[in-house]
Structure 1
Amino acid sequence: MKSFKPSIMAFALTALHISAAVAGPPVTVTFKNLGTQTATYTPISNNEAITKANASPTPQVSVIANGTDTYTIQSRISPDYNHANLRYQIGNKECVYLATFVAATGSGASKTPKWNHTATPGGGANCTIKTTKTNPSSYAWSVEITMK
């Protein structure tokens, strides 16, 4: 039985190493609540749940008026893909944000990075999302999302 434990340990370390090798580029998200009431982070869809699972630290459930929350999201699917799908609510107002990264392989071995983002308001909300930084080498990027 002594050889069994080291085997499990070696497997776990190998799995961690492989997981890190296929992780997509991280996106750092800064959420700013520009409203006068507390904003609530409310993941509903499967993609929003995956985003929450891939976040570090986990987004705060509540962000006070004029408060901010910053976290990083990193997909474990592919080194050429990452997404952040987030939903916040203030009363009846709702904002759904989507930020994606895809590195498409072009001619030869070159890759073409593409960062996209959308903000979808509901209930009279004012929602914005903008890319604040991209790294052409690692493809890591940052977005700022606001809600009012």
Structure 2
Amino acid sequence: MLQAPPFPVRTECPPGACVCRRDALLADPGGDTRILRLTREEEKKLLAHIDGIASYAELNKLTERLHSQLGVVLRITPSNNEVRSARGLTIALAELPGLCRKTRQTVPSAIRRSLDRHPEIIYAILDAHDLLGSN
């Protein structure tokens, strides 16, 4: 029998549409169910917040909050090729039981849109990875 956590959880994806292993996570008594707090409504709020990001500091704060509140690891790294736009960055959420496939696609897309509007964040990411050669 699945035991529901004491908070609202994300509804189940249609069968075959996702590989999030939500039921297995709910069945595991020691499993980290924080990711299930990201309901569809909360995901919409998250995407709206991401759209409002205007600085590298805000992006870092988002990354930290995703990890501390939901257990989600967001990685943004420059690709090996030349980076001319947000498309040259690798933006991904780490695999995590309970993390919906759709969420793993929509969050990076929202971050790319925000980076396209604020290219100075891309430069800060490159600088943080020492790709601009500043010493």
- TM above 0.5, one fold? no
More strand by share: 1
Max radius of gyration: which structure?
A: 1
Q: TM-score, normalised by structure 1?
A: 0.29
More helix by share: 2
